[in-house]
């Protein structure tokens, strides 16, 4: 079963749009163990070696919701850290050190909206893992 206390999102910048912040807060209520960090830059050297780092980027690999659930479950008990860049994306040196480059879609989204979409997909993966009716395949 997928647990929120193993998942975190590190994002550059703060959410400025109220409607996106409201959506994020709804998912945070549904997943109280999930940590969301907002900062001005990433310091990947501070991330522990045994953690899994997943960078969100448009050139990343796309997964269906079921595939994303399986991927996250395959990481067993490791902590999974999702990185979301700002409007300029994630620096190349950080992408090279990550375990996976993930694309949410072949469409391009503003970084604030990408954060909300990622939260929904994490919630969906947890729902799939718990056999919840939220995901209807």
In a domain, 136, yes or no: no
In a domain, 135, yes or no: no
> What are residue 11's DSSP bridge partners?
38, 84
Write the CATH number for 99. 3.40.1280.10
Domain count, the chain: 1
In a domain, 67, yes or no: yes
In a domain, 13, yes or no: yes
In a domain, 134, yes or no: no
Residue range 2-50, pLDDT digits in tens: 888 899 999 999 999 999 999 999 999 999 999 999 999 888 777 777 8
Domain ranges, residue 29: 4-129
- d(CA 74, CA 79) in angstroms, rounded, equals 12
* Residue 86 DSSP label: B
DSSP H helix total and E strand total for the chain: 4, 5
Residue range 49-100, pLDDT digits in tens: 789 999 999 999 999 999 999 999 999 889 999 999 998 899 999 999 899 9
- d(CA 37, CA 9) in angstroms, rounded, equals 6
Structure tokens at 18: 């109220």
In a domain, 66, yes or no: yes
Q: What one-character-per-residue DSSP string does 87-107 give?
A: TTB--HHHHHHSSEEEES-SS
Q: What is the rounded average pLDDT of the residues 112-137?
A: 91
Helix-strand-coil split of the chain, %, nearest 5 = 40, 25, 35
In a domain, 137, yes or no: no
- d(CA 81, CA 47) in angstroms, rounded, equals 9
């Amino acid at each position: 079963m997928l647990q929120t206390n193993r998942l975190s999102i590190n994002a550059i910048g703060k959410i400025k749009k109220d409607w996106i912040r409201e959506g994020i807060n709804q998912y945070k209520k549904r997943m109280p163990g999930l940590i969301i960090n907002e900062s001005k830059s990433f310091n990947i050297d501070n991330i522990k070696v045994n953690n899994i780092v997943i960078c969100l980027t448009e050139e990343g690999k796309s997964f269906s919701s079921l595939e994303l659930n399986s991927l996250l479950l395959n990481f067993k008990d490791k902590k999974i850290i999702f990185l979301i860049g700002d409007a300029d994306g994630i620096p190349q040196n950080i992408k090279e050190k990550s375990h996976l480059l993930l694309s949410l879609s072949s469409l391009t989204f503003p970084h604030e909206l990408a954060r909300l979409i990622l939260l929904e997909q994490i919630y969906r993966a947890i729902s799939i893992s718990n056999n919840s009716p939220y995901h209807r395949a």
